[in-house]
Amino acid sequence: MATQIILASASPRRKELLERLGFTVKVIPSNIDEVRLDSESAENFVKRLARSKCLTVVDRLQQTMYPSETEAGARRYPAAAVPGAVTSVRGGETRWVIGADTVVVLGERILGKPKDTAEASEMLHRLSGSVHRVITGFCIHDLKKDKEGVQAVSTEVKFKRLLPSEIEKYIAVGESMDKAGAYAVQGVGAYLIDSIVGSYTNVVGLPLCQTVEMMEEMGAHDILPY
């Protein structure tokens, strides 16, 4: 089956979420620098990163499909060579590119992916017994119309109060190291969660309701799962 969505993210969780809806997904990681700007809000941070991821991959695709028409785009969003060929959008195949970024926010502090187990332990101690926000920014680009939409979705998550021994055992499971906030709501980490207010899939990494709604508004009727 032809690729319906290009996912500008290496996250296996985002890919799995989209495939559960029936989409055929090809992953092309963007490999951009994920550095927060001074005084940048969490919402603006994830929206900027999601858009940057998406448009970086868009430029790679356009250079592969018809390079003579993408010099302006390449100047705006320089990118390395695309890893593998993608069917031309002119042939009615690849049209949609999605980029996303997720952060955990506790108070005013953004918790990204821990660099080691000590930082993972520190994050989980901070989250214990408290309410935090999970914010995902996502960008959808229509290669056919050269237009995109960007949105950020926030979900409130309350942790149960964790014993030091629970944190130690959870870190030993191995889920913490590639997750914002050092936990996986879709894995063993589900038992850490007392309650969720908002989108569950947003906490996993991509708010499916809002993503599909935006795709519908942008005209992706031929590949939607309903």
- Hey, what are 158's tokens? 């309350």
In the numeric block, the tokens 């992916």 are attached to 113
Is the Cα torsion angle 188, 191, 194, 196 positive or negative in sign? Answer: positive
Catalytic residues: 101
Q: Where are the beta strands (DSSP E) in the chain?
A: 5-7, 25-27, 96-106, 109-111, 131-142, 147-159, 193-197
Which among 34, 99, 97 has a CA at the least distance from the CA of 65?
97
For every residue of 156-167, DSSP letters joined together read EEEEPPPPHHHH
Residue 18 to residue 208: CA distance in whole angstroms: 8
If phi > 0 it is left, if psi is from -120 to 50 it is alpha, else beta; for residue 208 that is alpha
